[in-house]
């Protein structure tokens, strides 16, 4: 579907509904295509807790040694300017 700017201004709701139905909606200025109205595809977000049972942590993940190692990595990246 091709719509000029004046038509788009006056019928925006109809044009958006057409795009939502999967129709290609092209906007034109002086008969030349300049833009397209497309439906917004939202990313599906996993609900909280959906990874339960899929992630396994090492028993020492929060040990003083591991924390010191992580802190050293952060400090090294700050010194390198990362």
Domain boundaries, the chain: 2-37
2-39 pLDDT, tens digit per residue, is 999 999 999 999 999 999 999 999 999 999 999 999 99
Check whether 82 has a pLDDT greater than 70.
Answer: no
Here the tokens at position 9 are: 């201004």
Q: What is the pTM of this model?
A: 0.51
Check whether 78 has a pLDDT greater than 80.
Answer: no
Residues 6+ apart with CB under 8 A from 2: 26, 28, 33
Q: How far apart are the first and last CA of the chain?
A: 49
Contact 11, 36 (CB under 8 A): no
Contact 3, 11 (CB under 8 A): yes
């Amino acid at each position: 579907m091709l719509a000029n700017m004046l038509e788009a201004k006056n019928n925006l709701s109809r044009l958006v509904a057409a795009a939502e139905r999967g129709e290609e909606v092209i906007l034109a200025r002086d008969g030349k295509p300049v833009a397209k109205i497309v439906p917004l595809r939202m990313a599906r977000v996993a609900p909280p807790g959906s990874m339960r049972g899929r992630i396994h942590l090492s028993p020492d993940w929060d040990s003083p040694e591991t924390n010191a190692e992580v802190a050293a990595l952060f400090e090294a990246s700050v010194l390198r300017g990362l």
